[in-house]
């Protein structure tokens, strides 16, 4: 484990957080206040800095943008992040921004589709909370994973926090990364993640294997990230699942 000396992270979110996140070592929940001790919560915490864009500006200026035959939405996001992105070393700002992003992405209207009748109760809340904490993870441009917590291992963390079985946790993981298997939601996800400074990369290969994923900067060496993760995923998953044993 590599964890830089860091101050306790404390953030007040707009709504209460699930109390059973306290089953994960290093995190305390008091209503809507989340407190994290980095040296206990993270497996690695080497670079506590992040790139963000203002969420309200993303909503107002980027989400309505339309792709054209000359300009893809990915290029729109890249250009937007280059122009409006700002660096921060405040993890509370990251958590607040991520909460706004995922409160938007995982809205109640998503579950009105009859094709999603298989989605477990409470899924939207789980996705919002997991996404919020996952935003503190970080991958460098060279593909090195510099910040990683149990929240990276979405399936494993969900099993611990929400008492899910493995199959249900995998459904949650696929909904998070698969953006509801819907093209309009996929587009929305690409645009919304501009607020977190990059794009969402799924770490699983072909089938769910609890490898989670991360929002990474454009230009990141994803293959290096996946190779590094492949060498560490088993001990990280085991540590995440430890409260169940």
pLDDT exceeds 70 at position 205 = no
Mean of all residue pLDDT scores within the chain: 91
What's residue 2's pLDDT?
A: 55
pLDDT exceeds 70 at position 5 = no
Query: Could you give the C-alpha distances from 84 to 43, 65, 96, 191, in angstroms and in order?
Result: 31, 15, 18, 14
- The answer to whether the predicted template modeling score (pTM) of the entire model surpasses 0.75 is yes
pLDDT tens digits for range 111-146: 777 777 777 779 999 999 999 999 999 999 999 999
Lowest mean pLDDT among 69-78, 208-217, 234-243: 208-217
- Other beta carbons within 10 angstroms of residue 236's beta carbon come to 22
Which residues lie across from 12 on neighbouring strands? 33
What's residue 210's pLDDT?
A: 65
80-113 as b/e, with b when 16 or more CB fall inside 10 Å?
A: bbeebbeebeebeebbbbbbbbbbbbbeeebeee
CA dist., res. 194 & res. 3, Å (int)? 27
């Amino acid at each position: 484990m590599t964890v830089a000396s860091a101050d306790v992270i404390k953030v007040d979110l707009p709504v209460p957080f699930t109390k059973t996140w306290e089953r994960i070592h290093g995190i305390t929940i008091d209503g809507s206040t989340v407190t994290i001790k980095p040296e206990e919560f993270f497996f690695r915490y080497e670079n506590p800095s992040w790139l963000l864009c203002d969420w309200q500006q993303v909503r107002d200026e980027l989400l309505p943008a339309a792709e054209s035959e000359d300009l893809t939405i990915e290029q729109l996001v890249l250009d937007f992040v280059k122009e409006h992105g700002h660096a921060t070393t405040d993890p509370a700002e990251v958590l607040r921004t991520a909460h706004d992003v995922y409160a938007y992405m995982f809205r109640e209207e998503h579950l009105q589709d009859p094709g999603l009748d298989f989605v477990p109760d409470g899924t939207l809340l789980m996705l919002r909370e997991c996404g919020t904490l996952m935003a503190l993870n970080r991958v460098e441009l060279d593909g090195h994973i510099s910040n990683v917590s149990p929240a990276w291992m979405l399936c494993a963390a969900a099993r611990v926090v929400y008492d899910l079985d493995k199959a249900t946790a995998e459904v949650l993981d696929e909904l998070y990364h698969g953006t509801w298997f819907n093209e309009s939601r996929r587009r929305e996800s690409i645009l919304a993640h501009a607020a977190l400074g990059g794009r969402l990369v799924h770490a699983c290969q072909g089938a769910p294997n609890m490898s989670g994923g991360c929002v990474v900067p454009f230009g990141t060496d994803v293959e290096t990230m996946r190779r590094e993760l492949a060498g560490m995923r088993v001990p990280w998953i085991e540590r995440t699942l430890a409260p169940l044993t």
